[in-house]
Structure 1
Amino acid sequence: MTVRQADPLEDVLTLVGTTSRLSVGLVAGGRWALAFDPPDGVKFNAVRRGHCLLTVDGVPEPIELREGDCFLLVQPRAFTLASGPGVTPAPAGPVFRAAAGGPARVGDGDDVELMSGRFHFGERAGELLFDVLPPVIHVPASTTEATTVRWALELIAAELRASQPAATLVTEHLALVMLIHLLRLHVATAPGQTSGWLAGLADPVVAPALRAMHASPAHAWTVAELAGVCAVSRSTLAARFKQVVGKGPLEYLTGWRIELAAGRLRDGEATMEAIAREVGYASVSALSNAFKRLTGLAPRDYRSAASAASRSADAEPVGGV
């Protein structure tokens, strides 16, 4: 079988419905500190000028941020940004609410400038993405990927200054470019800080098998066939996949098929027969049995619950900063 190239990271980001939103930036100087509540979504910050100290709940050591550095706060944890240690933080909420559309300001002067944003994801992002990442990802300015992030930041700043048509759409897409580069860097340089399928992307034995299953999820893969794709023995692939990803190749394949089916149930009106064929099941009953075993719900019940949740979300008022 000829296997087309696939990108599991792209597949997952697409499946969980990744969107972005830039928020008000921060300008600070002198001695200052701000305490932030746990954010809704994944928080992004980049230091455009100066330096500051990041402290995240549950992370033992503070992180020094210098010009050009950026970080992703992957989990909803409270955090503090400060000029240095020993400064009593003020609540960040009132400072940002008083910004009135411009950058928030704290302290004396403007020797520090940060750009902020948030990434929002669909309901399955927790298990598929966040649970395989550390709570905070720090990207120093010295890395190659940070160069691309700085390029995107400069374009974003230019778009916001010029107020060009469709500037919001452009900046949101540029923010997604940054997210992808940050995740790529983390996979490449910090394999010990990831787990599950994301760790598998950095493993030379496991990665070809992951790409093959994502390229053709409906194919009736066997461990022997996947081992052939990876150019290793069946036993070697089975053991390595289990060690790195935390489950066997075919167990992973079943999980990914169910994720794809769940996505189709959430987003469209495709029939159960069509969805079963798309994800590799010979019958609706076979899909239903596997789906209920993994999610606890029959597919039709899952679709009804997802539709109700979507209507409820649409009815909620939009919040503030």
Structure 2
Amino acid sequence: MDPLSDVLSLLRPKSYVSSGFSAGGEWAIEFNKQHDRIKCYSVVSGTAWLAVKDGPPPTCLKEGDCFVLPRGKPFILASDLSVPTVDSSTLFPPPQPGGTVACNGGGDFFLVGSRFAVHGKTAPSLLRMLPEIVHIRKDSERAALHWSIQRMITELNERKPGSDLIAQHLAHMILVQALRIELTENSNHDLGWFSALADPGLGLAIQAIHSDPARKWSLQELSACAGMSRSIFAQRFKERVGETPIEYLTRWRMLLAVDRLENSTDPVSSIALAVGYEAESAFSTAFKRVMGTSPRQYSFNRQGSAF
């Protein structure tokens, strides 16, 4: 798979709410406690302001826009950011698929979308690899999402047999499409893994690592994949991603190993070999350095906590 698919696969996002929201008049809602959740929505009509805590400047959402909040940060959605906020828990009922929640009678602003829960102890690390906010506003980009969004609206309104399952699949399509568009169109110079993946050279090196994580990659080989000199590649990778290429390779291997420890019964020796370590002792040393515990202790703690 490609790197973006790899990360989303490890996160295993599950859409547990696909619904609509309609608001009227003046309103402002604060969404707290978004940990381990991805929000993905599309504005069907009207305008509103979106402000992410400790994120980029507030952005104005308009009809046809799609936005994704991949890192689970608290945020405010409002007709006007000067309006006093109310906590979302006072307005929204316990999560239930389908239907539409109305604020002030609705009618002026309407959006549809989903909330995704992600799982596993590595979820926070994986979510940090994604951008803080994805805001898709170009007509050429929004066209790619139009069918999925309109189909979701139909399923939410008509509530035919199987509507919940169809809405779940559509929500996944919207999430992946939005992230893919952001990745393709990303031309800024923000720091982070997602931005590096959009870089023509660095993206090729990351793709190489993900295509064969067990390979004994050298800095020279990875710089060749990126089409850069070794020194320039190492410097640019560290500046953009925040760690060296070999450190990233090691961390990605450990994330894959954790996934195997959490979701399989494979012995540690087999997992070590699968992620590029011929000696289990070398794998255990690397795992403890990155994850803070040995793979066997990690597996024991996971199994013990299941009861």
* Range class of TM-score, shorter chain: 0.7 to 0.9
Match of 2:261 in 1: 265
Residue 129 of structure 1 pairs with residue 124 of structure 2: no
Separation (CA, whole Å) in 2 of partners of 1:99 and 1:12: 26
The AA in structure 1 aligned to 2:145 is V
Q: Give the residue type in structure 1 aligned to 2:16.
A: R
* Deviation per residue, 1:2-37 (Å, 9 max, x gap): xxxx51111111112222233442222233333333
Cα 1:206–1:160 change in 2 (3 A) is same
1:97 counterpart SS class: coil
1:183 is aligned to 179
Q: 1:228 aligns with which of 216, 224, 227?
A: 224
Change (3 A) 1:281 1:73: same
* 1:62 aligned partner: 58
Asked whether 1:113 is paired with 2:110, we answer yes
Helix, strand or coil for the counterpart of 1:96?
coil
Alignment check: 8 A CA contact 1:133 1:193 kept = no
Residue 20 (1) aligns with residue 18 (2):
no
Partner of 1:9: 4
Q: For 1:243 and 1:71, how far apart are their aligned partners in 2?
A: 27
Distance 1:85 1:283, change over 3 A: closer
The worse-fitting range, judged by mean Cα deviation, of 93-102 and 225-234 is 93-102
Q: Does 1:218 align with 2:214?
A: yes
| Structure 1 pair 272–176 and aligned structure 2 pair: CA distance change class (3 A) | same
How far the C-alpha of 1:152 sits from its partner, in A, is 1.1
Q: TM-score, normalised by structure 1?
A: 0.84
User: 1:132·1:195 contact (CA, 8 Å) conserved in 2?
Assistant: no
Q: In the alignment, what sits opposite 1:138?
A: 135
| Residues 121-130 or 216-225, more deviating | 121-130
Given the two structures, how large is their TM-score scaled by the length of structure 2?
0.87
State the distance in 2 between where 1:193 and 1:235 align: 20
Aligned residues: 304
C-alpha change, 1:20 and 1:83, in structure 2 (3 Å) is: same
For 1:48-104, what per-residue CA distance to the aligned partner results, in whole angstroms no more than 9, with x for missing partners? Answer: 111122233334743211111122233444433333354333443233229997422
User: Amino acid of the residue matched to residue 125 of structure 1?
Assistant: A
Which has the higher mean CA deviation after the structures are superposed, 200-209 or 300-309? 300-309
Q: Say which SS state the counterpart of residue 265 (structure 2) adopts.
A: coil
Matches of 2:270 and 2:89, distance apart in 1: 48
* CA distance in structure 2 between the aligned counterparts of 1:9 and 1:76, rounded to whole angstroms: 18
Cα distance, 1:290 vs structure 2: 0.9
Task: Please tell me whether residue 298 in structure 1 is matched to residue 294 in structure 2.
Answer: yes
Equivalent residue number for residue 29 of structure 2: 34
Alpha-carbon spacing, 1:61–1:158, altered in 2? closer, same or farther (3 Å): same
RMSD: 2.6
Q: Hey, which bits of structure 1, 4+ residues long, moved more than 6 A?
A: 98-101
8 Å Cα contact 2:18-2:167 kept in structure 1: no
